Amino acid sequence: LQHGRSLEGPDDMARIFGEICDSVPSGTNPVMFFKFCFADFYGNNLAQLQGIANQVIQTAQNQGLRLIIGNALPVVAAETTPELVTEHRAYNAWLTTRASETSNVWIYDMYGVLSNSAGALKPEYQTSDSHPNDAGYDALDATYFPFLDSVFSSSIGRAHV
């Protein structure tokens, strides 16, 4: 798990993802996970995020790696705008289509788990900002491991991190 690396902006994500993929030992068959932070969506940068996701997908394909992409993360209602919800939903729909056209790429629907019908983070999953609380992470755990089982048809260890 690579987390907390210094970024100048979303465009650095593809570069860092590539560096991480380059460090994968040959002869292994890992599954890479990629997602944007809720802060990476501005309500007007859909094309930029799609371009980054395409770079990440291409890097994984070039390296022969399996890739799971977490879709957009909702934000608290006070920070949710119609433009942001439209962007989240457009990104998620595009991502699902993109993955269906690409081998070894799957989408984990984090948005579907965490958002309410208005496209905001469900109140029961909120901290003091747009990060999920323990109940939100529990909800993700409850769907993520069955998702992995359905994708890879295997039993995966279940440790909450």
Mean pLDDT of 88-92: 97
Residue 161 predicted with pLDDT over 50 = no
pLDDT attached to residue 2: 53
pLDDT attached to residue 33: 92
Mean pLDDT of 21-40: 87
User: Is residue 16 within 8 Å of 7, Cβ to Cβ?
Assistant: yes
C-alpha 44, offset from chain centre: 18
Entry pTM: 0.87
**Band (4; pLDDT cuts 50, 70, 90):** low
Q: Mind listing the pLDDT tens digit for each residue in 14-29?
A: 888 898 888 888 878 7
Residue 48 predicted with pLDDT over 90 = yes
